[in-house]
Amino acid sequence: MKFEKLRLKDAILRSLNDLGFNKTTDIQYKAIRAATTGSDVLAVAQTGTGKTAAYLIPTIQKLLESAHPRHHAPLVLIMVPTRELAIQVNEVANSLIKYTKLTSLAIFGGAGQEDQIAQLQKGTQIVVCTPGRMFDLRSQGFLDLDRIHTLIIDEADQMLKLGFYKDVMDVIKYIPFYRQTLFFSATIDQEIKKLAYSLVNKPIRIELSPKNPISQNISHCLLEVQMDDKRFFLERLINENPGTKVIVFVRTQVRAERVQAAMQRVNITTACIHGGLEQMERNDAIDALKKGTVNILIATDVSARGIDIPNVDIVVNYDVPDVAENYVHRIGRTGRGVAKGIAYTFVATDEIELIDEIETYITDKIPVVNLDKNSYDEIKKIADPNNITMAEIENMVEDFDKEVDSWGKIKKKNKKPKG
């Protein structure tokens, strides 16, 4: 359905037109109609289907219809699990309210709080936040939650797990009892669904995820690759797809930096993002991929959820995710909207059990690309004629570091005293 048939405010329609959005996706059509009635909503839909706009559009419509839309204190609180998602949701919100007098602010840790405090003191209607910084600013007296009339939980499955569930329960203590609550997620299980229902009042349930949560726009497959050989296959894949945007997912921060170093040795430029980097570095890495100054991003699961980078053609699971649902979120970085995408998963022998868990979760078998021994060996030969293993490279680096350290001690010992 066209957005204009939903009786949205002209300011919203103008923004949607600027963004090139004319027709709703299924989740947008159903969620906008449900949320504009003021009902609580529990929505589950595949990644890449436009869930962010699905909850922002009716929320902005509600603010514009309010008799006093420019309250000094925030009226809408959107909670997300990661800093990157907070930034992204805030960007979408600002693009949708640019023809209004409303304002939106992202507050998250890992960055200075001074600018965030300054904006709160000026007044803002929409706050997109990660829990830690939100509670910090509230305890310091800079964030007033007394007027919140809409609470939105994005990536609800993650926000209702572990410590995040306590954060959600705590924030409910500080906001008005009579409010609208919206839950949105790409994946959700029975336990999380039960928790969600305990926090809402007779919600409208929208579940558009088919039995298999993988988008039909994504072709995905497995390649059986031994751990030390994965870098050769990644190099070959990148070189065979010049100019293509690729996100490469690894399991740990150390792995991310090692894979980046391995690609650098074969003259492949990449950006890297993981939780150990400063927020500015993480922002720069995502911006580089969005702008096309770098086409390859190596990432841990910090970027697997919610992040929308246009025109990502290929996702590579360099390491198989150790949480089955993260497979869905990872490969969902491609094939977004109406675009097509492909996802490759490199599977070493000791990762096969993880694949079994993923296939159980998605209720389907992942196609396997069978390489004969000659083809496999040819990829290794072309990528690295010397066939040096990752373990050998790491040993060489350690030996070099020891040599440098020893040389420094010798120089210090032989240094003549002054005078």
**Predicted confidence (pLDDT) per residue in 275-323, tens digit:** 888 888 888 998 999 899 999 999 998 766 667 788 899 999 999 999 8
Residue 195 has pLDDT above 60, yes or no: yes
The tokens describing 126, both together, are 């929409």
Per-residue pLDDT at 383: 58
Per-residue pLDDT at 174: 93
Residue 96's alpha-carbon distances to 21, 86, 91, 106, 305, in angstroms, are 11, 16, 9, 15, 22
Q: Judge: domain 218-396, CATH 3.40.50.300.
A: yes
Residue 342's alpha-carbon distances to 236, 265, 348, in angstroms, are 16, 26, 20
What's the pTM? 0.74
Residues of each domain in the chain carrying CATH 3.40.50.300: 3-207, 218-396
The CATH number assigned to the domain with range 3-207 reads: 3.40.50.300
Mean pLDDT of the chain: 85
As beta bridge partners, residue 298 has 248, 272
**Predicted confidence (pLDDT) per residue in 58-69, tens digit:** 999 999 998 655
Nearest-angstrom CA–CA distance, 244 and 266:
17
| Sequence-separated (6 or more) residues with CB below 8 Å from residue 56 | 89, 92, 93, 96
At 188, phi and psi to the nearest 5? Answer: -160, 140
Which of 125-134, 167-176, 200-209, 240-249 bottoms out in mean pLDDT, i.e. has the lowest? 200-209
As beta bridge partners, residue 128 has 78, 106
Name the pairing type of β-strands 126-129 and 76-79.
Answer: parallel
Nearest-angstrom CA–CA distance, 151 and 156:
12
**In the 8-state DSSP scheme, what is residue 217?**
T
